[in-house]
Chains A and B, each alone.
Chain A
Amino acid sequence: MKQNEQTERFVDMVSEHQGILHKICHIYCNNSEEKQDMMQEITLQLWSSFPNFQDRSKISTWIYRIALNTAISNIRRSKKHPLVEALFDTDLEIPSRETDPALDEDINTLYQAIARLNDIEKAVIMLYLEEKSYQEIGEITGISEKNVSVKLVRIKKKLKEIIEEIEG
């Protein structure tokens, strides 16, 4: 496949599935600048892995896997080097989740609650809400099916408590 063809195919694929990227960035980022950076990083990672994509799994599963992994790695890196990275930023921002005026109150509450879960829990609950099967969740996250079900019970309980706490 020629370079141009491959690029066009990649662009089409990302355009088609950009909803996945938007949702992941929305969960893992606190503000629009972060979202933009993460979107770029995920796209880049997808592009670098694209030549090796062999249609063995569903394309959405492959995108989820790479996008989640990139997002989690990015978040951990920024947690690990907040000061060092801040030195290279022109604008220093205090990370806190912005409420999106475009979303209604229930949605904002849900996103605020998800924001309080850890990186892996966020990924698992997101895939659950996306109505992925346990098998697919396992395939994307690398967790066994059995473990997915156990984890989900715990995460759902935790999420419920957080939502109830937010709603008072």
Chain B
Amino acid sequence: MTDFFDDIKATWKKADEVITTDQSLTPEVIKQSITSDSISITSRMLRMINSSLIMLLVNALLLLINCSFYLKVPVYLGAISLSALLCLILVHYLFKQMKRLKTLDAKQADLHQVLQDKIDFFNHAFNRAMFAYGFAVMLLPFNVNLYQERANGGFKGLDLLLLVGFYILAFAFSYVLIKMTYSVYLKQLKNALSNLEQSTLVNMEEELKMNRKRNRIIGAIMVLFVLLGGVAYVVFHSSSLSGQTDLPDIEPTREKVLAEWLQVNGVKPVDYITQCFTDHDVVFLGEYHRIKHDVLLVQSLIEPLYRKGIRQLATEFGRREDQALIDSLLSADVWYEDLARKIVFQQFVWWGYQEYVDIYKSAWQLNHSLPDGSVPFSILGINDSPDWSLIRKAADHDDHSVKSRVWRGGGEHMWASVILDAVSAGEKVLVHCGIHHAFTGYRQPIVIDGKFSHFDKSLRCGNHVYSDLGKRAITVFLHSPWSDSTGYGGRALYPAGGIIDALMRKTGTQATGFDLTGGPFGNLDMGNAVYKHGYEHTVLQQFCDGWIYTVPFPEYEGVTPISNWIHLDNIYHARQQSPNPRYRDATTERFNKGITRSANIRKRFRHLK
């Protein structure tokens, strides 16, 4: 080793001779260096910003979490605003510091001042950051608690206690770790300042020790964040806490009863609907909207129903005013796609989906195939002709006088009158509409701020028909998610507490229709959905009479948007007849994108397994 390093020393000396002949550091260059303003102030500023940037990111992340859950709910806006305000204070402070640093007299290379500034900065930034971070962390249990309260009617005592306890511990732990990191940084800065004052330099050994300590603490913080993230994921996704995404376990005896009953009584959806007409005159088929297989089911029902003597399909997706157009379309010798699209467009400018247009086509194809003189299949447009152009601003939707002018005296009693007229004429009618129009015996509750307000006085189409026909009119629900108890715009959850989904998944059942009345499914609890409001004990047979399950939610697809549905020829009408006044000057592209986005069922149901 000694010989080896003798050689190395000789090489070093040889290099020394070459390197030290470089006399590039002339007195002029030295003078220029010490009077230059090229001191890396930018670099120093960036280093200073770095630590607070982490805190800002943490806050921004928490802010995003809050926003994603609560953006729609006004009560949380205050909390979100506060968190945003804290971020703004930090940003403001950082900019203020940057401005101050820029004014430092770099020519004097006043490192003493720079270090002193850094210490001040750390002190202030730490206090602000800890306050913001602590506030945000403490906000989480509050949020989770309220969120659960909205979704499931509140925590069971121990859940709440455990969760709050966890977050307090997490906060305390985070605080200690961050405080320790801060102390190490501060100590380094103070050492640097003190050494500068004494004209000695940082003790490298001590620095190494501190670096190791700092790295360990940073590592621990990272682990903590990963843990926090993991726990947050579990909290928001576990069935025991959220009841949102995991299917429930069914008690074995109950599962056996349901499965055995379904095996005997469940039939294919088309057969089920056809059978319903044996004892009933009007069957309301209530859909979620824009689910592809639901609309395809309606298409496939037309011919079998006709063979069984049911020749009337009343639809929400056609206007009473356009009945003559509908009749001419269905009796034409050739298929007029443009006319069919016009009928759908005039009912609602946003409804540019091929499957809904194809319902008319299915009826036309049937009529076209019938022998001469046969009674044709009819589609009855039951919807009103609202004039949405009267809505000038969002608040007009809540203005009773504006609304009455928009609806021009229409209403669901008018929808019902078309159906009742057909029944009076001796016809049986299948009604295809959204589930809320389809309620017959069930009264829909009005929910404000997650609380029951009153039952809808104006009644739904199904209610009007039911009041005239009683049990001759029934509701069949097309399986789809329900809103949670916060309101109709709330988070989508499994209907009936997820029992039906869990059972179908377990038994592998697909595409089946079954009665709720008189069967074990009718006694299932309705869970914590929005539909429970206003009722003391809610079981499924109060909600509807029959149920059609097709496939699990992950297999749901949206209907197909018609490309270029809104174009230059109909853009003016589309703008005028959009319920949302913000679309009064929208482009065709914006409309078409919106139509496509609305049909993204997969995205909407992505949390349902």
A106 and B11 contact, CB distance less than 8 A: yes
Stretch at the interface among B118-126, B198-206, B495-503: B198-206
A120 and B208 contact, CB distance less than 8 A: yes
Interface string of A43-70 (1 = CB under 8 A from B): 1110111001110000000100110010
B111 and A53 contact, CB distance less than 8 A: no
Residues on A with C-beta less than 8 A from B200 are 65
A40 and B38 contact, CB distance less than 8 A: yes
The listed residue (B36, B43, B204) touching A141 by CB distance below 8 A is B204
5 contacts between A and B (CB under 8 A): A15-B26, A22-B25, A41-B40, A107-B18, A110-B15
Instruction: Tell me which of B11, B26, B206 has the highest count of chain A C-beta atoms within 10 A of its own C-beta.
Output: B11
Residues on B with C-beta less than 8 A from A12 are 27
Select from chain A the residue with minimum beta-carbon distance to B10. Answer: A106
Show the binding face of B for A, using Cβ within 8 Å.
1, 4-5, 8-9, 11-12, 14-16, 18-20, 22-23, 25-27, 30-31, 33-34, 36, 38-40, 42-43, 46-47, 50, 109-111, 196-208
Whole-angstrom distance between the Cβ of A106 and the nearest chain B Cβ: 5
B25 and A44 contact, CB distance less than 8 A: no
A107 and B14 contact, CB distance less than 8 A: yes
The listed residue (A15, A69, A77) touching B43 by CB distance below 8 A is A77
Question: Interface residues of A toward B: which range?
Answer: 35 or more
Given contacts A15-B25, A85-B46, A107-B11, 4 further A-B contacts (CB under 8 A): A15-B26, A53-B199, A77-B47, A120-B204
The listed residue (B9, B46, B196, B202) touching A81 by CB distance below 8 A is B46
- A49-B196 Cα distance, complex, nearest whole Å: 7
Is A160 at the interface (CB under 8 A from chain B)? yes
- A143-B207 Cα distance, complex, nearest whole Å: 11
Whole-angstrom distance between the Cβ of A123 and the nearest chain B Cβ: 7
- A66-B4 Cα distance, complex, nearest whole Å: 30
Select from chain A the residue with minimum beta-carbon distance to B13. Answer: A129
Whole-angstrom distance between the Cβ of A26 and the nearest chain B Cβ: 6
The listed residue (B5, B15, B197) touching A103 by CB distance below 8 A is B15
Is A90 at the interface (CB under 8 A from chain B)? no
Residues on B with C-beta less than 8 A from A160 are 1, 4-5
Whole-angstrom distance between the Cβ of B108 and the nearest chain A Cβ: 8
A39 and B25 contact, CB distance less than 8 A: yes
A156 and B25 contact, CB distance less than 8 A: no
B39 and A44 contact, CB distance less than 8 A: yes
Residues on B with C-beta less than 8 A from A107 are 11, 14-15, 18
A10 and B8 contact, CB distance less than 8 A: no
Whole-angstrom distance between the Cβ of A144 and the nearest chain B Cβ: 7
* Beta-carbon contacts under 8 Å, A67-120 to B: 69, 72, 77, 80-81, 84-85, 88, 102-104, 106-107, 110-111, 120
Select from chain A the residue with minimum beta-carbon distance to B2. Answer: A156
A-B pair number, CB within 8 angstroms: 126
B4 and A19 contact, CB distance less than 8 A: no
A129 and B34 contact, CB distance less than 8 A: no
Show the binding face of A for B, using Cβ within 8 Å.
7, 10-12, 14-15, 18-19, 21-23, 26, 39-41, 43-45, 47-49, 52-54, 62, 65-66, 69, 72, 77, 80-81, 84-85, 88, 102-104, 106-107, 110-111, 120, 123, 129-131, 141-144, 147, 156-157, 159-160, 163
A15 and B19 contact, CB distance less than 8 A: no
Whole-angstrom distance between the Cβ of B115 and the nearest chain A Cβ: 11
Residues on B with C-beta less than 8 A from A26 are 19
Select from chain A the residue with minimum beta-carbon distance to B7. Answer: A106
B15 and A111 contact, CB distance less than 8 A: yes
Residues on A with C-beta less than 8 A from B43 are 77, 81, 85, 88
A110 and B12 contact, CB distance less than 8 A: yes
When A and B form their complex, which 3 residue pairs have the shortest distance between CB atoms, in order from nearest? A142-B203, A52-B199, A19-B20
A11 and B22 contact, CB distance less than 8 A: no
Whole-angstrom distance between the Cβ of A142 and the nearest chain B Cβ: 3
Whole-angstrom distance between the Cβ of A24 and the nearest chain B Cβ: 10
Select from chain A the residue with minimum beta-carbon distance to B202. Answer: A69
Q: Which DSSP category, helix, strand, loop or mixed, fits chain B's interface? A: helix
B39 and A22 contact, CB distance less than 8 A: no
- A3-B114 Cα distance, complex, nearest whole Å: 22
Say yes or no: A54-B205 contact (C-beta < 8 A), given A21-B25, A44-B39, A110-B12: no
Whole-angstrom distance between the Cβ of B213 and the nearest chain A Cβ: 16
Whole-angstrom distance between the Cβ of B104 and the nearest chain A Cβ: 13
Instruction: Tell me which of A44, A45, A80, A141 has the highest count of chain B C-beta atoms within 10 A of its own C-beta.
Output: A44
Select from chain A the residue with minimum beta-carbon distance to B50. Answer: A81
Select from chain A the residue with minimum beta-carbon distance to B201. Answer: A69
- A19-B22 Cα distance, complex, nearest whole Å: 8
Whole-angstrom distance between the Cβ of B219 and the nearest chain A Cβ: 16
Whole-angstrom distance between the Cβ of B57 and the nearest chain A Cβ: 15
Whole-angstrom distance between the Cβ of B41 and the nearest chain A Cβ: 11
A49 and B19 contact, CB distance less than 8 A: no
Say yes or no: A110-B204 contact (C-beta < 8 A), given A22-B19, A156-B1, A160-B1: no
B22 and A84 contact, CB distance less than 8 A: no
B199 and A49 contact, CB distance less than 8 A: yes
Select from chain A the residue with minimum beta-carbon distance to B28. Answer: A11
The listed residue (A23, A65, A120) touching B201 by CB distance below 8 A is A65
B201 and A44 contact, CB distance less than 8 A: no
Instruction: Tell me which of B14, B43, B47, B203 has the highest count of chain A C-beta atoms within 10 A of its own C-beta.
Output: B43
Instruction: Tell me which of B22, B26, B36, B110 has the highest count of chain A C-beta atoms within 10 A of its own C-beta.
Output: B22
- A107-B15 Cα distance, complex, nearest whole Å: 6
- A163-B8 Cα distance, complex, nearest whole Å: 10
Residues on A with C-beta less than 8 A from B39 are 44
The listed residue (B1, B12, B46) touching A84 by CB distance below 8 A is B46
Select from chain A the residue with minimum beta-carbon distance to B27. Answer: A11
Residues on A with C-beta less than 8 A from B201 are 65-66, 69, 142
Say yes or no: A143-B204 contact (C-beta < 8 A), given A7-B31, A22-B20, A88-B42: yes
Residues on B with C-beta less than 8 A from A39 are 25, 33
Select from chain A the residue with minimum beta-carbon distance to B9. Answer: A129
Residues on A with C-beta less than 8 A from B50 are 81
Residues on B with C-beta less than 8 A from A131 are 9
A142 and B204 contact, CB distance less than 8 A: yes
- A136-B208 Cα distance, complex, nearest whole Å: 19
- A83-B11 Cα distance, complex, nearest whole Å: 36
- A23-B197 Cα distance, complex, nearest whole Å: 27
A156 and B5 contact, CB distance less than 8 A: yes
Whole-angstrom distance between the Cβ of A132 and the nearest chain B Cβ: 12
Select from chain A the residue with minimum beta-carbon distance to B203. Answer: A142
- A160-B3 Cα distance, complex, nearest whole Å: 11
Select from chain B the residue with minimum beta-carbon distance to A26. Answer: B19
Residues on A with C-beta less than 8 A from B38 are 40
Select from chain B the residue with minimum beta-carbon distance to A19. Answer: B20
- A59-B376 Cα distance, complex, nearest whole Å: 110
Whole-angstrom distance between the Cβ of A117 and the nearest chain B Cβ: 13
Residues on B with C-beta less than 8 A from A23 are 16, 19-20
Say yes or no: A19-B1 contact (C-beta < 8 A), given A11-B27, A53-B199, A142-B206: no
